Amino acid sequence: MRTSIISIQKMKHDGKRIPVITAYDATGARLVEAAGIPIILVGDSLGMTIQGHETTLPVTLDEMIYHTRAVVRSTSKAMIILDLPFMTYSVSVEQALTSAGRAIQEGGANAVKLEGGARIASTVARLVETGIPVMGHIGLTPQSVNQLGGWRVQGRDAQAAQRLIDDALALEQAGAFSIVLETIPAQVGKEITRQLRIPTIGIGAGADCDGQVQVFHDLLGLTEDKYPKHAKAYATLAKTIRDAVSTYISEVQDESFPTEEHSFTMDESELAILYGR
């Protein structure tokens, strides 16, 4: 049985931290679930980590559904959340219902995530009314990167911080079961977490959030780019992979791979027939 909304909210009530990680394919999802992760977010960050875009904006709903189906097929315990991409829920409530419905029916997701605060509260409420669990997302919202002027910390002055608090409360009132807080001062993350009954999941929002989410590729050190301040690499797999491929190239070129161990053979009697002996 997959992680449920009730079990997530109980973790907050019991003071148990909630680890969340992104995953975009069957192999990655299978590995992180085997490690014990309770929630997998199929993030639109795949636009940057998988597709090579500079932002998440080019990602389509069809692409999100494709990746989510792979994650769902390879797991059985983790809650799977589909990140609704840019311009798939902001035109109208009807559009949001259609997009979220596809996420659940076609993607197999257990919930969806939407970026935005009070301005999308009515949309969140309508989705929840129809039985679709919604995770909110405020602070640095990547789909608004052009409007925000880049990847900047949000809520650094008292007025901006209060807007974030109001956004979080509006999402809770609308029925969101959890909220991602991205790239905001730790003090603001702490205050929002204190005021909400639902769990907060931080990414660059301080240690006092109820949980944390990290990008699969950052956590495993799969790229050699400069990592965001909020990220921590728990392995250096980029170097491991590069070294492995380099060794493979060398062994092919010096003919030390493949060996007999990696080859298949025919019976001598069949060989005799083949060669006409």
Residues identified as active-site: 182
Distance set, CA 153 to CA 136, 186, 228, 238, 258 (Å)? 18, 11, 12, 28, 52
CA 214/CA 41 separation, integer angstroms = 9
Taking a C-beta distance cutoff of 8 angstroms, is the pair 164, 155 a contact? yes
In the DSSP assignment, the letter for residue 24 is -
The stretches of the chain forming alpha helices (DSSP H) are 5-13, 26-34, 46-49, 61-73, 93-105, 121-129, 145-148, 158-174, 186-195, 216-219, 237-253, 268-275
User: Tokens 């994650």 identify what position?
Assistant: 71
End-to-end, the C-alpha distance of the chain in Å comes to 62
Going by C-beta distance under 8 Å and a sequence separation of 6 or more, which residues neighbour residue 143? 44, 56, 57, 85, 86, 115
CA 277/CA 275 separation, integer angstroms = 6
Q: Which amino acid is at 70?
A: A
Taking a C-beta distance cutoff of 8 angstroms, is the pair 30, 105 a contact? no
